[in-house]
Chains A and B, each alone.
Chain A
Amino acid sequence: MKILVAVKRVIDYNVQVRVKEDGTGVVTDNVKMSTNPPDDNAIEEAVKIKESGKAKEVVAVTIGEDKAQETVRKALAVGADKGIHVKVDGTIEPLAVSKILQKIVEKEKPDLVFMGKQAIDDDCNQTGQMLAALLNWPQATFASKIEVKDKSLEVTREVDEGLETIETNIPSIVTCDLRLNEPRYASLPNIMKAKKKPLEQINASDLGVDTKPRIEQIKVEEPPKRKAGIKVASVEELVQKLKNEAKVI
């Protein structure tokens, strides 16, 4: 079995994002970037399945500018066998990403495709579901547990009401929740070894996919700021304020 894992380079989750003064986006110059957190869970799960003997190969793919290769190198350092970088400059929407991934799936013929459930930059939560639609594959979104069976997966999904379990035929798309596993760190020797692993580069334009954005970003602004609050000295004062000042209890 072969698993394709899609990873995205985003502003690191610990960075306090700042909006550009001209309203065209957020500041990315000299800002720490890293792999979208649930994509790390997706790679980890694929590598674990490979280690259990149920998969033979894990391929990591990313789509973006040259620097996006860092995320593929990181995936290779924690156990992916091969990397693919699809080069695109500028903004690319989930619909175009899923069309590119569809081409990669046709080429690589994986049995499973994993990715994070949501990217923490645009917060769209679309790509996995869209890819499943384009391929007419089943989708198991927000996965917190995956069990690989002979011809199917049993997946526990985190939904608003609690947990839901479904069985999807293989081939299948899975989008991963942060609680799926604990991603490992890359050891220095493995980082060195990863540099020797194959990393194929493809230009998105060669795949025949139209990546032109369909959504115009008119402006990006700071959300309204909250008024500064106060510190209270005691629980008694807190309850009095909530009762008599804020009038919420």
Chain B
Amino acid sequence: MSALLIAEHNNKEVKPFTLNAITAASQIDQDLHVLVIGHSCEAVAKSISEIPNVKKVIHVDDAVYENYLPENFTPVVIKNSENYSHIICSANTFGKNLMPRISALLDISQVSDIIKVISTDTFLRPIYAGNAFATVKSTDTKKCITIRPTSFDPAPTTGGTAEIVKSEKAEASDLTKFIKREEVKSDRPELGTARVVISGGRGMGSGDNFKLITAIADKLNAAIGASRAAVDAGYITNDHQVGQTGKVVVPDLYIAVGISGAIQHLAGMKESKIIVAINKDGEAPIFSVADYGLEADLFEALPQFLEELNKLNTIQK
């Protein structure tokens, strides 16, 4: 049998986490086919066909698929699912929204958010905000799996020549209408894939004070993150939230500023390679996961930090 991966894209480009999901999917089954559903997304199908891990691309194109509504994507996936042992997608908001709808109609108990492939039916996944790891074995004949993208390396993007097969659209639904998407455009690296992330918490005190973080992010070419408290307080938009129900990040360097370190925040960042915590409360739980802790007032420490960075001859980008 083969595995079928549902690609996430914006009709122009493949979303980066699809590449991580492809790596995981080809560990499950090397005969990996990718389903590209969208509108005028030939370029996406073509770029996926060039990924060496991909053996075949199935391309379904129609205007109804422009905004990736799960009510419309699900019938297409089901229609194309018959000859596959695994249906796979990344566990970000796209895959989390879509996969359970497919899974329920196929009467499959989905395995969400896996961080390791142990065998074709057995996987490792975090539970309780990553405070425990469960090894689980799916007993369904066909399996629906979502992949935690940051736990797998991105697949290489060139050198492959998979065939692209066009497939017919499925029945469209009018249950849901797309109205608008407010994307926060930024020249910074994406939070999920950045090498360095600097995050602010409630201790920042205001949205305006995030400029102290922005200045350092500019210097380190870092993405900007935030704790839920900072988002709830309106200091920064939701797309920056790191944590159990926000984004999971695994950068080389994670700098937590004015973040106490609630369990839910740690769930989103504690796999980072190096963690720095800057907090004036020496007892804050964030220090228990930090490689380097600095007990200091962030309003003094951040300008000094920028000054010290300015003194360096070179900074990794």
List chain A positions with a Cβ less than 8 A from chain B. 11, 13-14, 16-19, 26, 38, 93-96, 98, 117-118, 120-134, 136-142, 144, 154, 157-169, 172, 177-179, 213-223, 226-227, 229-232, 234-236, 238-239, 241-243, 246, 248-249
A182 to chain B, nearest CB (A): 9
Given contact pairs A216-B138, A218-B136, A238-B276, a sample of 6 additional A-B residue pairs in the complex whose CB atoms are under 8 Å apart: A94-B110, A121-B128, A124-B110, A129-B97, A161-B239, A231-B295
Name B137's closest neighbour in chain A (CB-CB).
Answer: A216
A219 touches B134 (CB 8 A): yes
Question: Given contacts A215-B136, A229-B291, A248-B253, are A179 and B126 in contact (CB under 8 A)?
Answer: no
Task: Give the docked Cα–Cα distance between A152 and B294 (Å).
Answer: 51
B110 touches A126 (CB 8 A): yes
B168 to chain A, nearest CB (A): 21
Question: Given contacts A13-B263, A130-B101, A163-B182, are A138 and B175 in contact (CB under 8 A)?
Answer: yes
A117 touches B245 (CB 8 A): yes
A162 touches B238 (CB 8 A): yes
Contacts of A141 in B (CB 8 A): 93, 96-97
Among the listed B132, B178, B228, which residue makes an inter-chain contact with A178, where contact means beta carbons less than 8 Å apart?
B228
A77 to chain B, nearest CB (A): 24
Contacts of A137 in B (CB 8 A): 175
Contacts of B177 in A (CB 8 A): 166-168
Residues of B in contact with A, size category: 35 or more
Name B247's closest neighbour in chain A (CB-CB).
Answer: A160
- Per-residue CB proximity of B272-308 to A under 8 Å, as 1/0? 0111100000100001011111111000010011001
Among the listed B93, B128, B220, B228, which residue makes an inter-chain contact with A159, where contact means beta carbons less than 8 Å apart?
B93
A160 touches B112 (CB 8 A): no
* Residue of B175, B228, B316 with highest tally of chain A CB at under 10 A: B175
Among the listed B175, B292, B315, which residue makes an inter-chain contact with A169, where contact means beta carbons less than 8 Å apart?
B175
B109 touches A215 (CB 8 A): yes
Q: At the interface, yes or no: B117 with Cβ under 8 Å from chain A? A: no
Task: Sort A-B residue pairs by CB-CB distance and give the 10 closest, nearest first.
Answer: A129-B100, A130-B104, A214-B109, A138-B175, A126-B100, A133-B104, A239-B308, A229-B291, A235-B304, A248-B253
Name B98's closest neighbour in chain A (CB-CB).
Answer: A129
Among the listed A14, A130, A177, which residue makes an inter-chain contact with B100, where contact means beta carbons less than 8 Å apart?
A130
Task: Give the docked Cα–Cα distance between A179 and B316 (Å).
Answer: 36
Contacts of B305 in A (CB 8 A): 235, 238-239
- Per-residue CB proximity of B39-70 to A under 8 Å, as 1/0? 00000000000000000000000000000011
Contacts of A236 in B (CB 8 A): 304, 308
Among the listed B92, B133, B253, B295, which residue makes an inter-chain contact with A222, where contact means beta carbons less than 8 Å apart?
B133
List chain B positions with a Cβ less than 8 A from chain A. 69-71, 74, 92-94, 96-105, 107-113, 122, 126-140, 173-184, 192, 196, 220, 228, 231-232, 237-239, 244-245, 247, 252-253, 263-264, 270, 273-276, 282, 287, 289-296, 301, 304-305, 308-309, 312, 315-316
Task: Give the docked Cα–Cα distance between A133 and B74 (Å).
Answer: 9
B126 touches A223 (CB 8 A): yes
A166 touches B287 (CB 8 A): no
B96 touches A242 (CB 8 A): no
Contacts of A134 in B (CB 8 A): 104-105
Task: Give the docked Cα–Cα distance between A38 and B291 (Å).
Answer: 32
A98 touches B104 (CB 8 A): yes
A216 touches B293 (CB 8 A): no
A249 touches B309 (CB 8 A): yes
A45 to chain B, nearest CB (A): 16
* Residue of A16, A138, A168, A236 with highest tally of chain B CB at under 10 A: A138
20 A-B Cβ contacts within 8 A?
A: A16-B131, A93-B109, A124-B113, A133-B74, A137-B175, A165-B181, A168-B176, A216-B138, A218-B135, A219-B135, A221-B135, A223-B126, A226-B270, A229-B291, A229-B293, A231-B282, A238-B276, A238-B294, A239-B308, A239-B312
A241 touches B112 (CB 8 A): no
A231 touches B287 (CB 8 A): yes
Among the listed A26, A93, A239, A243, which residue makes an inter-chain contact with B132, where contact means beta carbons less than 8 Å apart?
A26
